[in-house]
């Protein structure tokens, strides 16, 4: 029991936990009564999906509807006129959008702000109330589903400048210093060297995992003693495969430790996991651990961990040029929130800008394809391009995407193309998507063409849409994307965007020095709100948005970007600017109670 409660409840400008001092000053005070008060709850909006399930049903959550709240309020007044003035004050705060702010009574909790969509009240009649100079009202409130914090927060990620240097720590071609460990739930641990696979990597496999009991399986490297001076970022290339097993509750893949310290993934690029060792206080890397916790789902099961490479770098994440970057932003709170995402460069207009947001999920965060090129004409270095290279797709180009980095769904294939040595107009771009297993193309190929008339020197084109992978495959499968053209046609970069899970916006911001009204070095993506119930895209040059304006003809496509805790990936492309910063500003949102930051 709290002996000296410090709680507060404000409806707009009205204090609903009034004091005698307030009544002495105004002639009345409001008191919210605990009887039949109801904070309400978010109301799930669910959609049943038709399926082949023989029993049960698949239900998708499409959003949350408004919460319905109720407060019983009593007015204590000096006289009947003061009662009327109090009712007038309540009327001014009702029947409109407003804020209801509740502060928990122990003084430790954060203020909880309910965004009121609409409210109304009814007087509760009582024949003795007028004699006691009291009025009682039932206040009905319809509020947004989630409560928010009082203070807006911002998360920012900048561009790392300079040349990236990646230095190998362990190429994983020898088992020296490595151990493969298995720790069953409640059982003794076992340890053995991992196997060296002929292709040049290490592999450990644990069988006979206890059914429905978590078994801890790890690849551990010790004896490194590697200084990280000047290169504090660790890159580990690894995969895990489960057969007749599932990840333990609360886990969804591999976890990592550096020097025995749990290391959160800072950037993930398919099977490449990047870590900020300096943020963990690590200046010398002595050991690392790759762990999977899993339970068997049948009597025959296994968990395999493959380690391919361990390196260190002076930059976080793979850098070709700074014109395309994948960055993870922290989203505060526990519920999806409204926010404003800004992409900016202080000295240059952005050029063609792509912003793709998605959950921090393996594969989605790095949609660029050139890094996965397996065959085609030799690339030519060109530092003015987005990828830093160009090659002519008059010869078939193939890109092999691991299925582990390709969540199933609908995909959009974009490519930035330019005129080659000989122009045949129109271009006919031919594409194909193939499932491959063990080096063999499986039946069920998706194909298409895109005809482009009078192409300019460089532009980004929508090549096609597809459902990937074309066929379901095990973790060793690949999806091969093929691109070719009937003419000499240079490709700078291509991208595969998952449009089921992610959201994509493209805006033409111009090239050159920032100029108000024409050449924009700042691009804002704003969520729908009560005041503006559609997503909005703004351009401008000033950080305070004083010269901003809605994108019109400059806007080529837009998505309704979602900001979901605890983190999200933001992949950006800017054809002109190279020193971009992204910032997400938002109110942390929660179910009913706001947690401290």
Beta bridge partners of 28: 77
Q: What contacts 589, CB < 8 A, 6 or more positions away?
A: 146, 147, 148, 149, 333, 334, 335, 336, 337
Residue 97: name the closest of 152, 44, 138, 144 by CA.
144
Whether residues 105 and 191 fall in one domain: no
Containing domain of residue 471, as a range? 368-500
Distance separating alpha carbons of residues 597 and 121, to the nearest angstrom: 35
Query: pLDDT per residue over 77-122, tens digit each?
Result: 999 999 999 999 999 999 999 999 999 988 888 999 999 999 999 9
| Co-location of 475 and 516 in the same domain | no
Q: Is the pLDDT of residue 547 over 60?
A: yes
Confidence check: pLDDT of 508 > 80: yes
Please indicate, yes or no, if residue 259 is contained in any of the structural domains.
yes
Query: pLDDT value at position 206?
Result: 72
Say whether both 440 and 521 belong to one domain.
no
Instruction: Say what the pLDDT of residue 240 is.
Output: 85
Q: Which pLDDT value is given to residue 187? A: 67
pTM summary value: 0.78
User: Residue 161 has what DSSP assignment?
Assistant: P
Task: Report the mean per-residue pLDDT for the chain.
Answer: 90
Are residues 257 and 306 both part of a single domain? yes
pLDDT at 252 exceeding the cut of 70: no
Q: What is the pLDDT of residue 159?
A: 79
> Looking at the predicted structure, is the pLDDT value of residue 216 above 60?
yes
- pLDDT for 5: 64
Q: How confident is the model at residue 484 (pLDDT cuts 50, 70, 90)?
A: very high
Comparing CA positions, the residue from 312, 267, 257, 251 lying closest to residue 287 is 257
What's phi and psi for 85, nearest 5 deg? -65, -40
Phi and psi at residue 92, in whole multiples of 5°? Answer: -65, -30
Is the peptide bond between 426 and the residue preceding it cis, with omega within 30 degrees of 0? yes
Reply yes or no on whether the pLDDT at 589 is more than 80.
yes
Confidence of residue 571 (pLDDT cuts 50, 70, 90): very high
Q: In this structure, are 100 and 230 located in the same domain?
A: no
What pLDDT sits at residue 479?
Answer: 93
Nearest to 99 by CA among 12, 32, 13: 12
pLDDT above 60 (res 454):
yes
- The pLDDT assigned to 267 comes to 73
- Of 145, 175, 203, the position where a domain reaches its end is 145
Place of tokens 């495969």: 241
* Numbers of helices and strands, H then E, in the chain: 2, 49
- Domain end (from 500, 526, 558): 500
pLDDT for position 365: 61
Does 3 map to a domain? no
Q: Per the domain annotation, does 24 fall within a domain?
A: yes
DSSP state of 110: P
**Span 341-366, mean pLDDT?**
88
What gap in Å lies between CA 389 and CA 369, rounded to an integer? Answer: 12
For residues 446 and 423, the model is more confident at 446
pLDDT-derived band at 339 (thresholds 50, 70, 90) equals: very high
pLDDT digits (tens, 9 = 90+) for 264-299: 887 766 678 899 999 999 999 999 999 988 877 677
Residue 447 located in a structural domain: yes
The domain that contains 516 carries what CATH number? 2.60.120
CATH number (domain holding residue 425): 2.60.120.260
Q: What is the pLDDT of residue 430?
A: 98
Residue 125 is part of a domain; what is its CATH number?
2.40.30
Q: Are residues 536 and 462 in the same domain?
A: no
Distance CA 502, CA 562 (A): 8
Q: What is the pLDDT of residue 265?
A: 83
Residue 252 lies in a domain: yes
**8-state DSSP, 203:** E
Tokens read off for 534? 């559609």
Domain boundary among 500, 518, 537: 500
**Contact indicator for 194, 180 with CB cutoff of 8 Å:** yes
- For position 247, what pLDDT does the model report? 76
The reported pLDDT for the residue numbered 261 is: 96
Based on the fold, state whether residues 491 and 527 are members of the same structural domain: no
Q: Is the pLDDT of residue 2 over 80?
A: no
Q: Are residues 298 and 329 in the same domain?
A: no
pLDDT digits (tens, 9 = 90+) for 162-212: 778 999 999 998 999 999 988 876 667 778 788 776 556 788 777 666 555
Task: Give the Cα separation of 465 and 504 in Å (integer).
Answer: 14
CA-based angle 348:351:353, to the nearest 5?
A: 115
Q: Are residues 292 and 250 in the same domain?
A: yes
**Domain assignment present for 1:** no
Residue 297 lies in a domain: yes
How is 214-228 classified by DSSP, letter by letter? -EEEEEEE----EE-
Domain shared by 238 and 264, yes or no: yes
Number of structural domains in the chain: 4
Q: Are 179 and 84 in a shared domain?
A: no
295: its two tokens: 């339970």
To 10 degrees, the CA torsion angle through 433, 437, 442, 446? -10
For residue 285, give the nearest of 255, 311, 265, 315 by alpha carbon.
311
pLDDT value at 37 more than 70 = yes
Asked if the model's pLDDT at residue 444 lies above 80, the reply is yes
For the cut 60, the answer to whether the pLDDT of residue 363 exceeds it is: no
For residue 139, is it within any domain? yes
Please indicate, yes or no, whether residues 403 and 446 belong to a single structural domain of this protein.
Answer: yes
């Amino acid at each position: 029991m709290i002996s000296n409660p410090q709680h507060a409840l404000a409806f707009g400008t009205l204090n609903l936990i009034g004091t005698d001092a307030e009544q002495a000053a105004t002639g009345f005070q409001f008191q919210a009564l605990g009887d039949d008060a109801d904070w309400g709850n978010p109301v799930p909006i669910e959609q049943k999906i038709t399926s082949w399930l023989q029993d049960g049903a698949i239900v998708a959550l499409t959003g949350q509807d408004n919460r319905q709240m109720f407060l019983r309020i009593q007015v204590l007044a000096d006289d009947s006129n003061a009662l009327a003035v109090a009712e007038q004050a309540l009327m001014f705060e009702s029947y409109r959008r407003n804020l209801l702010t509740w502060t928990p009574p122990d003084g430790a909790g954060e203020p909880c702000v309910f965004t009121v969509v609409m409210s109304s009240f009814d007087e509760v009649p009582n024949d003795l109330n007028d004699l006691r100079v009291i009025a009682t009202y039932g206040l009905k409130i319809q509020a947004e589903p989630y409560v928010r914090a009082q203070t807006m927060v911002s998360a920012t990620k900048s561009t790392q400048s300079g040349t990236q240097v990646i230095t190998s720590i362990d190429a994983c071609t020898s088992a020296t210093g490595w151990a493969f460990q298995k720790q069953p739930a409640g059982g003794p641990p076992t340890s053995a060297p991992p196997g060296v696979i002929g292709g040049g990597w290490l592999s450990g496999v644990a069988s006979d995992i206890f059914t429905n009991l978590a078994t801890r399986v790890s690849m551990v490297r010790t004896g490194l003693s590697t200084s990280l001076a000047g290169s504090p970022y660790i890159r580990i290339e690894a995969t895990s495969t489960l057969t007749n097993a599932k990840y333990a509750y609360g886990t969804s893949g591999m976890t990592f430790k550096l020097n025995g310290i749990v290391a959160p993934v800072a950037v993930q690029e398919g099977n490449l996991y990047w870590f900020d060792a300096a943020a963990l206080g690590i200046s010398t890397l002595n050991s690392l651990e790759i762990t999977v916790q899993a339970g068997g789902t049948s009597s025959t099961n296994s968990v395999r961990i493959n380690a391919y490479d361990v390196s260190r770098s002076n930059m976080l994440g793979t850098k070709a040029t700074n014109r395309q970057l994948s960055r993870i932003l922290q989203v505060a709170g526990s519920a999806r929130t409204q926010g404003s995402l800004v992409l900016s460069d202080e000295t240059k207009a952005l050029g063609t800008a792509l912003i793709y947001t998605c959950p921090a999920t393996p594969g989605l965060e790095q949609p660029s394809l050139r890094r996965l090129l397996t065959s085609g004409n030799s690339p030519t270095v060109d530092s003015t391009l987005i990828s830093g290279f160009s090659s002519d797709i008059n010869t078939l180009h193939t890109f092999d995407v691991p299925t582990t980095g390709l969540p199933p769904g609908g995909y959009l294939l974009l490519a930035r193309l330019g005129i080659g040595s000989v122009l045949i107009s129109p271009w006919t771009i031919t594409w194909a998507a193939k499932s491959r297993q063990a080096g063999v193309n499986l039946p069920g190929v998706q194909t298409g063409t895109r005809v482009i008339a009078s192409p300019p020197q460089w532009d980004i084109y929508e090549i096609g849409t597809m459902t990937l992978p074309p066929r379901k495959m095990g973790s060793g499968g690949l999806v091969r994307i093929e691109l070719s053209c009937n003419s000499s046609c240079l490709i700078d970069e291509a991208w595969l965007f998952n449009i089921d899970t992610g959201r994509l916006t493209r805006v033409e911001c111009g090239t050159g020095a920032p100029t108000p009204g024409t050449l924009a070095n700042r691009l804002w993506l704003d969520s729908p709100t009560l005041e503006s119930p559609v997503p909005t895209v703004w351009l401008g040059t000033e950080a305070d948005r004083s010269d901003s304006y809605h994108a019109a003809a400059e806007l080529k496509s837009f998505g309704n970007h979602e900001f979901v805790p605890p983190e999200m990936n933001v992949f950006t492309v800017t054809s002109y600017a190279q020193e971009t910063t992204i910032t997400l500003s938002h109110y942390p949102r929660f179910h009913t109670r706001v947690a401290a930051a």
